[in-house]
């Protein structure tokens, strides 16, 4: 097997439904209106990277339970989570910034948003 074949096998083994919905949910939750509302309700500042981490773990657990996965699918979900985090950080955030669709704006309540 060549390196390209290993790469394709790896990519085909990921849970793409989880990856795409996780990126969309993370993008939605990091909208300025939602982070402002959360801060007003709780008076807690959570850095963007930790919000995304908590969302990914919580959503991964929810997907695991709702889809009725067995223990063997945990590795697939974890690999999909890591791939989504890297893909979102390296590709999607940059694309949104270029297209001026970046939800993270500098505000007085959350000075950690740009990371």
What gap in Å lies between CA 58 and CA 77, rounded to an integer? 12
Let me know how many helices (H) and strands (E) the chain has, helices first. 6, 0
Q: Which residues contact 53 (CB under 8 A, 6 or more apart)?
A: 85
Query: Per the structure block, which two tokens stand in for 8?
Result: 């394709």
Query: Per the structure block, which two tokens stand in for 32?
Result: 């300025």
The pLDDT of residue 114: 44
User: What digits encode the pLDDT tens for the residues 10-52?
Assistant: 999 999 999 999 989 988 888 888 888 888 999 888 888 888 8
For residue 64, pLDDT beyond 90: yes
pLDDT bucket at 102, cuts 50 / 70 / 90:
low
CA 88, 89, 93: angle at the middle one, nearest 5? 75
Beta carbons of 31 and 103 less than 8 angstroms apart:
yes
- Residue in this structure with the two tokens 């339970």, named with its chain if needed: 65
């Amino acid at each position: 097997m060549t390196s390209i074949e290993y790469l394709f096998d790896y990519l085909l083994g990921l849970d793409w439904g989880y990856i795409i919905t996780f990126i969309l949910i993370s993008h939605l939750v990091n909208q300025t209106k939602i982070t402002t509302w959360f801060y007003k309700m709780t008076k807690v500042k959570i850095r963007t990277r930790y919000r995304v981490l908590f969302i990914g773990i919580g959503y991964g657990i929810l997907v695991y339970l709702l889809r009725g996965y067995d223990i063997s699918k945990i590795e697939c979900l974890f690999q999909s989570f890591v791939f989504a985090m890297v893909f979102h950080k390296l590709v999607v955030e940059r694309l949104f910034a270029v297209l001026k669709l970046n939800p993270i704006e500098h505000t007085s309540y959350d000075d950690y948003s740009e990371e």
